[in-house]
Structure 1
Amino acid sequence: MELFYEIEGDGSPIVMIHSGGVDSRVWRYMVPELAQSFKVITFDGRGTGRSPAMQEPASLVEDLRKLLEHLGLDRVTLVGHSMGGQVATDFTLSYPSMVEQLVVIAPSVTGFVYSQEFTNYMTSVNAAAPDISKLVELSLAAPIYRSTMASPHRSFLSEMHAHYMTRVFTEWTCFEVLWPEPPAIERLEKIAANTLFIQGTIEWPDMYNIAEHFKRVPAIQFATIKGADHMLVLTHAEQLANCIQHFILGEHDGQILLI
């Protein structure tokens, strides 16, 4: 297996898929909580952390499938954050028999048309390339990082972001990611797994639109963490872990609201 991965704990398997711009270290505060009850698998996505750089067009969904086959896991719970939620959603649609339950945390989704506000932000960040420090500064200045950048996690997030950007501009020779067709946004009602959608209240308006689309998933619960921004996996790790544990164990009833 090419990808770097780690396993902690015993029990039913949970696979954690991190967001873009960071690596699997982002789960460091959630894993100890979840590993008390489950076998928790974290890994660095292709081109991030300690996994190989992007050298050719890659399917992150197929990377995940190969990892599960390597580990001998036939059926797992997926927990995906941001773009990791996009990977988890597409994987669930592509390999439904392999997914016991699905948890998406502030996810992106293939086929979603983002707002002008978000695309303008991405354009301004990308214009700073290849100046790593400027890329990190502009990227993390977004309002969706306001809570995290005012917290003790600021330096850790900045370090992970800088490490990611450095790898992108010094090691990657290909930037093409392959996604299943048709886009997931056109097929959300086909998700058979019990699903939990979690988000904070400090987000792009786009996230609320994505949540509206996820209401088409037949068996879905929603959780909101007040005061949390896009990096709630760092700032609200204990609350997230508890929420996920209750969901997996079936200790939920209707709308879930975290205060």
Structure 2
Amino acid sequence: MDLHYEVHGTGEAIVLIHCGGTDLRNWQFIIPPLSQLYRVIALDARGAGKSPPLIEAANYVEDLTKLLDQLGIDKAVFVGHSIGGQVATDFALSYPQKVSKLVLIAPALTGFEFSSAYQQWTQQVMAAAPNVEKMVMLTLTSPMYRVVMSSPQRDFLVEMMKHNTQRVLEWQTFDMIWPQPPASTRLSQLKTNTLLIIGKEDGEDLWRIAELFQQVPDIQFAYIEGADHLPTLTHPNEISCLITDFLNN
């Protein structure tokens, strides 16, 4: 197991999977309250934080199986944010016996076709490479970050994004392996008890994805007022309470 991770607390295991452009520090305000009640495992996904860069096609779902094996965990709660939610969803579909409950924060979704505006924005960001400063600024000018960029966490987010954008430039491939068929075509098969959290100021594409998750048989939705795509940084108390309440019911 070559991924970097941290373990905090004891009890039922919770695995935290961060969003793109960040690393396990995405959870720095959420780990303390959760670790008072649970065994919290936060990892740096392959290519991010202190984990190795991509030198071959990444398989984030199988990385999670290796993490559980490394820690001797048979079953855990999985909390995934954005692309971390995409990974958690695919993992739950592939290994339902290993997932006790699923929490998705503004998840992405394999097989979902993003809007042309979203695709143009991501292309602009990548076209700015290798200028890390410009790539990060283009990323964070998106409306989906307008709340966090006006918050006290702005400088922290910019620093974290710069670190992980620089890490992306170390990758030798951008290929990723996802289970087939895509999760977008199999949401009705997701039997895990699920909570989906989304900020009311998040982007339109993320809201379209959230609507697709209504196909999940056993799902609850929670909406955070005044939050954008990074409620983990701007509304950590609400996130922590929503997760704790969900796990206790």
Q: How many angstroms apart in 1 are the aligned matches of 2:183 and 2:196?
A: 15
Amino acid paired to 1:132: V
What is the correspondence of 1:114-193 to structure 2 with a 5 Å cutoff? 114-169=114-169, 171-193=170-192
Q: Per the alignment, in what secondary structure is the counterpart of residue 215 of structure 1?
A: helix
For 2:117 and 2:136, locate their aligned partners in 1 and report how far apart those are by CA, in whole Å: 19
Q: Which residue does 2:235 correspond to in 1?
A: 236
Q: 1: distance between equivalents of 2:63 and 2:210?
A: 26
RMSD between superposed Cα atoms in Å: 0.7
Give the TM-score of the pair, scaled to structure 2.
0.99
In structure 2, what is the Cα distance between the partners aligned to 1:230 and 1:208? 11
Give, as a single letter, the amino acid of the residue that structure 1 aligns with 2:149. M
1:127 deviates by 1.5
Residues of 1 paired with 2:227 and 2:235: CA distance?
A: 7
Larger deviation, residues 202-211 vs 130-139: 202-211
Using the TM superposition, give the Cα deviation of residue 3 of structure 1 relative to its aligned residue in structure 2, in angstroms. Answer: 0.5
Partners of 1:175 and 1:117 in 2: how far apart? Answer: 21
Letter in 2 for 1:63: D
Deviation string 1:90-127 (CA, Å, 9 cap, x unpaired) is 00000000000000000000000111121121122122
Which amino acid letter does the alignment assign opposite residue 165 of structure 1? T
5+ residue gaps, structure 2 = none
Report how far residue 47 of structure 1 moved: 0.8
> Partner letter of residue 64 of structure 1?
L
> Over residues 1-28 of structure 1, what are the superposed CA-to-partner deviations in whole Å (9 max), with x where a residue is unaligned?
2001111111111000001111001100
C-alpha separation between the residues in 1 aligned to 2:42 and 2:202? 25
Does the CA contact (< 8 Å) of 2:203 and 2:228 recur in 1? no
Count of aligned pairs: 249
SS of 2:162's partner is helix
Match of 2:48 in 1: 48
Structure 1 residue 192, shift from structure 2 partner: 1.2
Secondary structure of 2:147 counterpart = helix
What TM-score do the two structures reach when normalised by structure 1? Answer: 0.95
The 1-side partners of 2:139 and 2:206 are apart by 17
Structure 2 CA distance, aligned partners of 1:69 and 1:53? Answer: 21
Are positions 1:39 and 2:21 aligned together?
A: no
Alignment of 1:1-259 (within 5 A): 1-169=1-169, 171-250=170-249
Aligned to 1:253: none
Instruction: Decide whether the 8 Å contact of 1:118 with 1:204 is kept in 2.
Output: no
C-alpha distance in 1 between matches for 2:223 and 2:160? 26
